[in-house]
Structure 1
């Protein structure tokens, strides 16, 4: 169903922080041969690892095309729900709905829904000229299909926006990047102030922290914030960092650190910034590049391309952290230590071989989409409510 009379904030909705309780997680299933090498063989194994890890903490639904449903069902644990859905690619952070919640809304003696979803517009991260592929007609329907399947009210929105371009603390503050949201290939007709107004009315936030740029090499998304910086809790953020002054990421990291250090959140709190070192740098090998079947529709995957690998691209689940590992012994271990200290009440579960997801253009956070629990009927998670 659609709620057409006004924006989410007028109905009391807000986007909850990722650490607030989930009812389930949604993922797509990768298959396109021009974005997942060897016909998706390795990417599917990585997605299956992620889905399996999440399923230990909360329910998981994986959406697969008709031709891939049986393959996905075979590779995934029995407790993971697999449903059939058409899609152009499997980045549900960006094509799935952004869920919003409200606390105890009711009226006229009837119970009203406390979970709804925003159905953003999508143009394949840049449209015909700059996007990652030229046909995104199936992706445009992913959010609507998910919301219909769950019988969750839908807020349609015409602005081009991907879920990976925003992070919220659940208390009125939003993180994003100018490199993405102000890019002329998204909403050239809108000013920065107009985009802020949309974020405030649809996410229920009061303050936007604009970082100039995202992670170096994250060209597919034009610098999504979820590869660069995220909230640990209100007033605390993790930032993709490098100590190597010769690395192009260094300038971006210092730039972001300076802005965050001088900023306050919606409640006037100064930010504590935790540095999370990036791996590598890592580059696409000749062997990896040879596994892609270029059919002329998607951006080419070329050998020697620097991979947009970041440990900030983890996913928070009920009681856990699902974290990528890239085969970099030094920084893989350091990332686990930093995340364990940042989230002492959550179990950090690592996904070996997350490099396969990076080869496709993103990571664990990019392929997942949380559906929050109803705030009025939130069950205890793992016996302690977290």
Structure 2
């Protein structure tokens, strides 16, 4: 039987991929790099951070201190570590951790992703756990676990014909239960963010912050294009039940004001936070709702520091803080010299 550790459980390290000139960050590369530096430095205050980068010696110059920072060389397509990195499970029968290397196709073939898809195998020696190649298109941002038998996801993403057209809902549920050892799949059929390339990844909309609690995006502006869809999503969340038949506690996060770049609305979302050991890294956007989101998280995340990080540059490429990071549970370490 497999166990899929939740993000709010103890971790070993966080992985990210540093922006380089051949990535989509090229038009504002230094601004993007500074955001990644801020994320890495924040992580390193609490636990190690593995930085995958094209030029180790050069990237090291961006950091005043290298304490808790580990660098490894690899030439990636882009920097969305959440979606091209391995996912971690525990094989309870064998009492060992496993790394599941799913197929990454650039969110259904939207972007070149061959090098990103090959990354985990190329750097496999850095991990202390064995890796399995899984013949399934799946991104880490598309699934959320509560560490108690439930996996939360969206139908728009996991049942999209651009991912695994050979699998219907029943087939996908069977595959998810097999790979992650969960007892039930909780589907959301509503909710989206304009400008999102992922086909509504769950980590932009609703997140488990503990076994019993889901934090989600709520839109109160009836004139906003998201109002109806997010209202329907909220009703779906209220109707969800855990494996014991109990409803989840729900905590609403505010919707950002409409944010644009090159006349395109961007998917700014406070739900794209990263939980680490003793802290939460919260994306903020120089938006009037930033302080409200910070206050909500300070109240909800008992015993964890809340670290706001300006992610205004990240959303220009249609993702945010959680999208560029991947956490690894305490059972999986790093083999470093």
With the length of structure 2 as denominator, give the TM-score of the two structures.
0.94
- In structure 2, the partner of 1:117 is 99
* Deviation (angstroms), 1:215: 2.8
* Deviation (angstroms), 1:87: 1.1
> How far does the alpha carbon of each residue in 1:238-277 deviate from its partner, in whole angstroms, 9 at most, with x for none?
1111100111211121111111111101232201211101
Paired residue secondary structure (1:355): coil
1:19/1:317 contact within 8 Å kept: yes
* Deviation (angstroms), 1:40: 1.6
Q: 2:49 aligns with which of 46, 60, 71?
A: 60
- In structure 1, the partner of 2:323 is 366
Q: 1:24 aligns with which of 2, 8, 13?
A: 13
* Deviation (angstroms), 1:218: 4.2
- In structure 1, the partner of 2:312 is 355
2:196/2:319 contact within 8 Å kept: no
- For 2:237 and 2:157, locate their aligned partners in 1 and report how far apart those are by CA, in whole Å: 18
Paired residue secondary structure (2:58): helix
| 1:72 is the counterpart of 2:59 | yes
- For 2:329 and 2:240, locate their aligned partners in 1 and report how far apart those are by CA, in whole Å: 28
- For 1:222 and 1:364, locate their aligned partners in 2 and report how far apart those are by CA, in whole Å: 17
User: Number of matched residues?
Assistant: 331
1:121/1:160 contact within 8 Å kept: yes
Q: 1:275 aligns with which of 252, 260, 283?
A: 252
* Deviation (angstroms), 1:219: 3.2
- For 2:187 and 2:21, locate their aligned partners in 1 and report how far apart those are by CA, in whole Å: 34
1:214/1:224 contact within 8 Å kept: no
- In structure 2, the partner of 1:182 is 159
More strand by share: 2
- For 1:87 and 1:152, locate their aligned partners in 2 and report how far apart those are by CA, in whole Å: 22
- For 2:268 and 2:182, locate their aligned partners in 1 and report how far apart those are by CA, in whole Å: 29
Describe the shift of the 1:13–1:148 C-alpha distance in structure 2 as closer, same or farther (beyond 3 A). Answer: farther
> How far does the alpha carbon of each residue in 1:262-306 deviate from its partner, in whole angstroms, 9 at most, with x for none?
11012322012111012111111xxxxxxxxxxxxxxxxxx1111
Paired residue secondary structure (1:270): coil
- For 1:36 and 1:279, locate their aligned partners in 2 and report how far apart those are by CA, in whole Å: 23
Describe the shift of the 1:240–1:32 C-alpha distance in structure 2 as closer, same or farther (beyond 3 A). Answer: farther
Describe the shift of the 1:168–1:49 C-alpha distance in structure 2 as closer, same or farther (beyond 3 A). Answer: same
| 1:90 is the counterpart of 2:72 | no
- In structure 2, the partner of 1:338 is 296
Q: 2:170 aligns with which of 181, 188, 193?
A: 193
* Deviation (angstroms), 1:13: 2.4
- In structure 2, the partner of 1:382 is none
- For 1:349 and 1:312, locate their aligned partners in 2 and report how far apart those are by CA, in whole Å: 14
* Deviation (angstroms), 1:101: 2.0
Q: 1:317 aligns with which of 273, 276, 280?
A: 276
With the length of structure 1 as denominator, give the TM-score of the two structures.
0.82
* Deviation (angstroms), 1:38: 2.9
Q: Residues 28-177 of structure 1: matches in 2 within 5 Å? A: 28-32=17-21, 35-38=24-27, 40-65=29-54, 68-76=55-63, 77-79=65-67, 80-102=69-91, 114-127=96-109, 131=110, 133=111, 135-177=112-154
1:97/1:144 contact within 8 Å kept: no
Deviates more, 1:140-149 or 1:162-171: 140-149
* Deviation (angstroms), 1:146: 4.0
Structure 1 gaps of 5+ residues are 1-11, 107-111, 285-302, 378-386
| 1:248 is the counterpart of 2:225 | yes
Structure 2 gaps of 5+ residues are none
Paired residue secondary structure (2:135): strand
What value does the CA root-mean-square deviation take over the aligned residues? 1.7
1:239/1:253 contact within 8 Å kept: no
Q: 1:231 aligns with which of 181, 195, 208?
A: 208
* Deviation (angstroms), 1:34: 6.1
- For 2:192 and 2:22, locate their aligned partners in 1 and report how far apart those are by CA, in whole Å: 26
- For 1:211 and 1:351, locate their aligned partners in 2 and report how far apart those are by CA, in whole Å: 28
Deviates more, 1:164-173 or 1:246-255: 246-255
